[in-house]
Chain A
Amino acid sequence: MDRFRMIFQYFQSNSESVMNGICGLLALASVKMYTSFDFSCPCLPQYNVAYGLGIMFVPPIILFLCGLILNRQSLVMLEEWRRPAGRRKKDLAVIRYMCSSIMQRAMVAPVVWIIVTLLDGKCLICAFSGSVDPEKFVGFANVSTVQVQQLLAKVPCKDDELMKNNTSRKAVSRYLRCWSQALGWSILLILIIAAFLARWLRPCFNQATLLQARHWSNYIDIEQKIFEETCCEHSRLFAHKCILHFFESMRQEIKLHSFSLPREGEEAEGEEDLLRGITDQDQVNKLLKTWYYEKPPLDVSQAHQR
C-alpha cells in the first residue's frame, strides 16, 4: 500500500511538471529546428512571399499540433467531454480549465518559432523585399518597374551575380531586418506583459472556482492513471490464474489417463510443486501443443469449483 501511495504521489506532483517538461522540450526543439533548417529564399518575384510566409507560419501550426498530440491531458479532456453523463455529472468549468491549460502549453513552441524567425529576419526579408518602395533606395530608384521587381526579388540572395557588393541591396536588407526585429521584440514584450497580468490578476477573479476546477481536473487525470494501473494488475492476475488452471487441468487429465500409483512421501516438495505433475517429454509436448491449438477459455471462476 505504501508503495502505491508513493507512486501516486509521484504522479500527482509530476503530472504538471511532466507536461511543463514536454513544453520546454518542444520549445528547444523548435529553436534547434530553425537553426538546422537551411533557409534558401528562391529570389523569384511571386515565390518569395509564399516561401517567406510559409516558413514563418506552417512550422508553428505543426508545432502546435505536436504540442496537442504529445500532451496526455488532451486525451483525458476529450474523453471527459465526450463521455455519456451516466451517474456522474459533467462539469463544464473543469473541461474549460483543462482546455485552456492545454492550449497555453501548446502555444509556447509556435510562439518561440515565430519570435526566433522575426528576430533572425531572413523570412521577412525574403517575403517583403519585393514590397519595399524602390524610390527610397538609390540603386533601385531609376529602374523600370518590371526590372525593379526582379531586382528587389533578388535582394535576399547575397551571392547572386547581380547583387554582389551592391550597397542598395544591403540597405534594403538592413531596413527589412530592422522592421523584422522591431516586430519580434514588440510581440515578445506584449506576450510577456499579458502573461504577467494574467498571472497577477487571476486571484482577483473567481479564485474559488479556479481551485475547484484545478482540483477536479487533477482528479480526473489521476483516476485515469489508476484505472490503467488497476487494469494492468488485473490482467496480470487473470493471466496467472488462467495459466495455473491450464496446468492443473493438464495434470488432472494425465492422472485420469495414466496408471501410476499414487505417490507418497515425495522428498522434493518444492520441485514437485513447480513440476505440476508434468514429468515426461510427451506430457510436455502435449501441454505445449494444447496451449497452441486449444487455448484455455478466459474464465477463471472454474478454478474454484474443482
Chain B
Amino acid sequence: MDKFRMIFQFFQSNQESFMNGICGIMALASTQMYSAFDFNCPCLPHYNLAYGLGILLVPPFILFLLGFVLNNNISMLAEEWRRPQGQRGKDPSVLRYMFCSMAQRAMIAPAVWLSVTLLDGKCITCAFCTSVPVETLGNASHPHLSQGEIQRVLARIPCKEIYNGQQLIANEVAVRYLRCISQALGWCFVLLMTTLAFLVRSLRPCFSQAAFLKSRYWSHYIDIERKLFDETCAEHAKSFAKVCIQQFFEGMSTDLVAARCHLSRKAPADAGEAAEKLLGITDQGTMNMALKSWHRCKPPLHLHPPALPTENGWAGEGQPPTHPSAPRREIAAYYSWV
C-alpha cells in the first residue's frame, strides 16, 4: 500500500506539472515547426491570400486538436459525461471545470503559433500585399496600368527576385509597411491573450472560490479513482491468471495420474520448493502434452475452489454459474459531496 501511496502522491502532485510540461513542449514544438517550415508565397493575385491565411490559421487548429488528443484526461471527461447516473449523481460544474482546464492548456500552442507567425510577418506580407495603399506609399499615377496589372505586380512583392514594380512602389517600403502592421497585430494579440489569462486567473478568487475548490477536489477524485480502479483490476487479473494457470497444471497432473493408474506418490519430505514448483509435471512427454493442451484447449475463466475434488481433471464446470442479472438493492443510494 505504501508503494501505491507514493506513486499516487507523485501522480497527484505532478499531474499538474506533467500537463504543464506537455503544454510547454507543444509550445516549443510549434515554434520549431514554424522555423522549420519553408514558407513559399505563391506571388499570384488570389492565391496569396488563401496561402497566407491558410498558414496562419490551419496549423493552430491542428495544434488545438492535438492538445486535446495528447491530454489523457479527455477520455476521463468523456466517460464521466456519458456514464449513466446510477447511484452517483453527476455534477455539471465538475465537468465544466475539467473541460475548461483542458481547453486552456490546449490553447497555448495555437496561441504561440499565431504570435510567432504575426511577429515574423511573412504570412501577412504574403496575404495582404495586394492591398498595400499605393497612393500614399508609392506612385499610383506613374505607369498607366490596369487594375488587374497592378494587382499582379503587387502580388509579387514577397518574391523579391521577380518583383518588377519598383516604379510603382518600392519593394522595401511595401515590405516594411506590411511587416509593421503584422508586428503590431502580433503584439496586440499577445497582449490580449495575456490580459484574458490574467483576468480569468485573478477574477476567480473574487467570485466563486468555494465552488472552484469543490470542482477541483472532485475532478481530482474522479481521476484518482479511475487510476486506483485500474490498478485494482490489474492486481486482480494477475491473481486470477496465477490461480487459473496453477489450477490448469494441477488439473493436468491429476489427469495424468488418473490415466496412468499410478498410486499417488507423496512427495518426499525433503524435496522442498523445487518439487512443488514442478506442479507434478516431471517429464518431457507430460510437458509437451501440457503445452499442447494450453494451446488447443485453454481452461475456462472460472476458478474452482481448491477443496472441491473434481472427477474430471480438466477445469470444467465445477459450480453452477452465478446469475448476474439480479439488480443490487442492498445499499441506500446516498452520496455525500464533501
Contacts and interface: CB of A to CB of B under 8 A. Distances in A.
Interface of A: 37-38, 40-44, 47, 50-51, 54-55, 58-59, 61-62, 65-66, 68-69, 74-75, 78-79, 81-83, 157, 159-161, 229, 231-233, 235-236, 238-240, 242-243, 247, 249, 252-254, 257-261, 263-268, 271, 274-276, 278-286, 288, 290-299, 301-302
B209 A232 contact: no
Contacts of A280: 301-303, 321-322
Contacts of A233: 9
B173 interface: yes
B75 interface: no
B157 to A, nearest CB: 15
Contacts of A239: 221, 224-225, 228
A296 B229 CA distance: 12
B334 interface: yes
A295 B88 contact: yes
B328 A297 contact: no
A119 to B, nearest CB: 21
Contacts of A261: 305, 307-308
Interface stretch (B146-154, B193-201, B265-273): B193-201
A102 B306 CA distance: 68
A40 B205 contact: no
A159 B331 CA distance: 83
12 contacts: A40-B176, A44-B137, A47-B177, A69-B197, A75-B201, A232-B13, A242-B225, A280-B303, A292-B83, A298-B337, A299-B334, A299-B336
Q: B-side binding surface: helix, strand, loop or mixed?
A: helix
B224 to A, nearest CB: 5
B326 A65 contact: no
Those 3 A-B pairs whose CB atoms lie nearest each other, nearest first? A281-B301, A294-B86, A42-B180
Contact of A296 (B88, B202, B243, B321): B88
Interface string B170-199: 101100110110011001101100110110
B328 A279 contact: no
B326 A253 contact: yes
Contacts of A42: 176-177, 179-180
Q: A-side binding surface: helix, strand, loop or mixed?
A: helix
A75 B83 contact: no
B84 interface: yes
B119 interface: yes
A279 B303 contact: yes
B217 A297 contact: no
B330 A284 contact: no
A295 B120 CA distance: 52
Contacts of B306: 266-267
Contact of A297 (B88, B308, B324): B88
B176 A157 contact: yes
A236 B4 CA distance: 10
Nearest to B119: A37
B330 A253 contact: yes
B311 interface: no
Contacts of B321: 280, 282
A243 B305 contact: no
Contact of A82 (B209, B220, B322): B209
A111 B88 CA distance: 53
Contact of A275 (B83, B197, B236): B236
A258 B172 contact: no
Contacts of A40: 121, 176, 179-180, 183
B194 A69 contact: yes
B331 A254 contact: no
A97 B242 CA distance: 62
Contacts of B229: 243, 291
Nearest to A61: B191
Given A40-B179, A54-B184, A74 B194 contact: no
Given A263-B305, A292-B79, 18 more contacts: A38-B119, A40-B183, A47-B180, A58-B187, A58-B188, A160-B172, A236-B12, A238-B221, A242-B225, A243-B232, A254-B322, A261-B308, A266-B306, A274-B236, A283-B324, A284-B236, A293-B84, A299-B336
B328 A41 contact: no
Contact of B87 (A59, A68, A258, A295): A295
Interface string B40-59: 00000000000000000000
Nearest to A231: B217
A151 to B, nearest CB: 14
